[in-house]
Structure 1
Amino acid sequence: MTADLSATLEQRRSVHGDFTDHAAVTQALKDIARAAPSWARMSPVAREAIDMILHKVGRACAGNPDHADHWHDIGGYARLVEERLP
């Protein structure tokens, strides 16, 4: 692994937590979302936004919950869906 990649991964770990922890939290949240009654009726945009929102929630839960970028991104993904609603 290159030194640059190692530095990037270490920086991400300090903000987002251990990737194994993040993956477990995020996958559990996505399993819940996919089992919901309205999942099959959602547009691809809504599904992807939910995936990304849950990804950011997973990062906040596994890493630094005070990292403002998590919350900013969650708002952005929700806005992208809202803008495309009929």
Structure 2
Amino acid sequence: MSKLMILNRGPILPSEEADGENKMFDYSGCLYPQGLDSNNVFYFNEKNIDEVVFEGFKDEDEERFQKVFDDRMKEIKPTIKKGTVTGPLE
């Protein structure tokens, strides 16, 4: 099993499906400890996380951002479909 480091929250990608609709994932990540390689960015959702190994720096700015982010996600949830992970990380 590979470890991923989260890069961002709520990435929106163009759909690869025939419907052409954009899809949103909960997170994007890169392999740890290798780091960011633009050819190996992984998109996944909360339900795809087996275990949180380490939680990084968190302060009042992060807490405030998380609240704003959560509120925004509630607003746009009806307007964009959630992407799905179709297989395991290889």
Name the TM-score class by shorter chain.
Answer: under 0.3
- The normalised TM-score by structure 2 is 0.26
When you count helix as a share of all residues, which structure comes out higher? Answer: 1
- The normalised TM-score by structure 1 is 0.27
- Greater radius of gyration (CA): 1
The one of the two structures with greater contact order (alpha-carbon pairs below 8 A, sep at least 6) is: 1
